[in-house]
A and B are shown apart, each in its own frame.
Chain A
Amino acid sequence: MLSIKNLYVSIEGKEILKGINLEIKPGEIHAIMGPNGSGKSTLANVLAGKEEYEVTEGEITFMGEDLLEMAPEERALKGVFMSFQYPVEIPGVPMVNFLKTAVNELRKYRGEEELTAGEFLKLMREKKELVELDTQLTNRSVNEGFSGGEKKKNEIFQMALLEPKLSILDETDSGLDIDALKRVAHGVNALRNPENATIVVTHYQRLLEYIVPDFVHVLYQGKIVKSSGKELAFELEEKGYDWIKQENGL
């Protein structure tokens, strides 16, 4: 589904990613772990299409197409979804308008009929239950005045509405208490099927107790220095990142 080959990325002339290789197949969950500053969020943002990152070398294909050639909205329409680490507040843009526009853009792209207001509200009610999002929140502007936990729930709620093929969860666990974490994980697991894949970007192993990955990759200084099964996450939790550094002679 997703194939990253020899990816080099710079921001403002500073090289952040230095030769990333990664293959993701439908149905898989990949965790990308690593200490702060290792390039985890850069990778997530490059996949979502953030423009300030410059790809200097390498390629990314998604469903056989060149992802790097696509605008962010095109990526989204083809099924790439990023759950933001810091979802931005957009005063004046009502949640309902935003979500309805997003859902209908997607339906239009797929050649489906746009949803009427009534149909959309029904869909919204269904999906809200999945993450137990407070009903009042959808009456506000996008993310405006949401708590940290509510913002993250709102991301997964959008994921549920848009049913992406590839979801990238960028530090979705940061700032969540244990109940919210479980709720978010429950949402992600419920949305899982053999056709879609998930990349979980996280600093801690905690989230991976609830969203169990098939593969764990350790990103350090812009490179994937170790890849293994889920047991790697527990090992990291136990030994810390220094162990990886030593093992790699870094």
Chain B
Amino acid sequence: MSVVAEKADLSLKYTAHYNEVKEGLLEDSADILNAPRNQAFRDFVSQGIPTRKFENYKYTNLQPAFIPEYSFMHRREPVEVDLNNAFRCDVPQLDTHLAYIFNGWFYDRGSQVGNLPEGVILESIEKIAHEKPELLAKYATLAKTGDDPLVALNTAFAKDGYFLYVPKNTVLEKPIQLINFLQAEKDAFVTQRNFIYVEEGANVQVISCDHTLNLNTYLNNSVTEIFVGPNASFEFYTLQNQHNSTTNLNSVFISQSRDSKATTHYATLHGGLIRNNLKYILDGENAEANLFGMAFIDRKQHVDNFTQVVHAKPHCQSNQFYKNVLDDEATGAFAGRIHVVRDAQKTNAFQRNNNLLLTDKATMQTKPQLIIDADDVKCSHGATVGQIDEEALFYLRARGIEESKARLMMMNAFAYEVVQRINIEPLRNRINELVDKRLKGEVARCHDCAYNCDC
């Protein structure tokens, strides 16, 4: 079959599937989730599955990830694993409000949400869409189906995910922790749709951990829309730790009001193909956005961080800081776009991407992109792709430290700059430990996990 025919066939396959399940998707979902469905699917079809010909997907061809015969998780299935048991492999000793998401579905059973402060809601988005649709009035307004085919497909298929609401001036002492598990009997296509609303003056930290519990092939397409109110503070930590046959397509959209502060922090420890789309809109004066990320990949893994920061109002600040360590034949990409719109004066936008290549075969593409339509702004960007500093390595060895150990110290040092930006101390310590194990080549993921997936 020719490539063109195969591509057409691939789109047709998804169209056929959508037509087949459309009734079922609409049937037991609330209007607010159903309203954009058909248009979303049309947007997906007109855009198609991203290839390198897409400007925004220049370094990641997603077509191969859409080829396997997946089963689709359009219905809530009973959970057959003991999630509390599975949790042992994650970030233990963390005192959090904990909830599980299983194949994209929010699960109450076995969750350890505990006592949330008054008015805080941590729930299934499916349930909220039925019971309190007014809280989802802004659903699908940040993640626009016409802008991105993954968002379009997610919106067409969206049935569940998590919903978090933090009312005005409410401060959560403990972080919210969401553990996303993938475990299906067959290769599976998982859709997860999340929504976070942080009201004025509120303060919350969220930790999201991605895991696979068996060796099937997965494609996980998730979209999260986040609204951060005036003077609110929001921190979002994402730990990605899935096996090599997983495609993790993760799109996060954040809109910030005046005087708010939002921080995203990605730690990618393992995965097959990972694409993180992250878009910030600084939509009020004096807002501050921090975008941090680090990835440690080897073999034929691929990680692509695509960030967009839109400075829509004056006096805002954004900081982007991404680091990658690539081993074997791993490939990586970082594309960071900063868009300062007209009249967004006194903007301060900063971006840095540093990469460490451990072999000659590992490759990294890095591309800053500045679109500046205001005249009184400070923007800076810098990127490096390099090897371990040989001078420093020699210094350590000259003190009797064996070469492999010295290299490990250097790699940890490289990562440390991003690790130290985790504000939750037990999480920082745990990630530090995981990074160290990862760099040592020990299986960092689930080292004491009950599910012994060797991948």
Contacts and interface: CB of A to CB of B under 8 A. Distances in A.
Contact of A162 (B391, B400, B417): B400
Contacts, number: 76
Interface in B384-439: 389, 391-392, 394-403, 405-406, 409-410, 412-417
B395 A106 contact: no
Interface stretch (A20-28, A89-97, A195-203, A218-226): A89-97
- Size band of the interface chain A makes with B: 20 to 34
A97 B409 contact: yes
Interface string B113-150: 00000000000000000000000000000000000000
A178 interface: no
A172 to B, nearest CB: 15
B400 A102 contact: yes
A50 interface: yes
Given A72-B394, A90-B392, A98 B410 contact: no
A234 interface: no
A99 to B, nearest CB: 8
Interface in A31-83: 48-51, 71-73, 75-77, 81-82
B398 A98 contact: no
Contacts of B415: 92
A93 B400 contact: no
Contact of A90 (B397, B398, B410, B417): B410
Interface residues of B, number: 23
B402 A98 contact: no
A48 B391 contact: no
A105 B413 contact: no
Contacts of B401: 73, 98, 101-102, 105
A162 B412 contact: no
A148 interface: no
Nearest to B412: A92
Contacts of A77: 400
B400 A109 contact: yes
Contact of B403 (A73, A82, A87, A102): A73
B395 A84 contact: yes
A105 B450 CA distance: 34
A250 interface: no
A30 B62 CA distance: 66
B398 A49 contact: yes
A158 interface: yes
Contacts of A51: 394
28 contacts: A48-B398, A49-B397, A49-B398, A72-B394, A73-B398, A73-B399, A73-B402, A73-B403, A73-B406, A75-B398, A82-B398, A88-B391, A88-B392, A90-B395, A90-B396, A91-B413, A91-B417, A92-B412, A92-B415, A93-B413, A97-B409, A98-B396, A101-B401, A101-B405, A102-B399, A105-B405, A162-B399, A162-B400
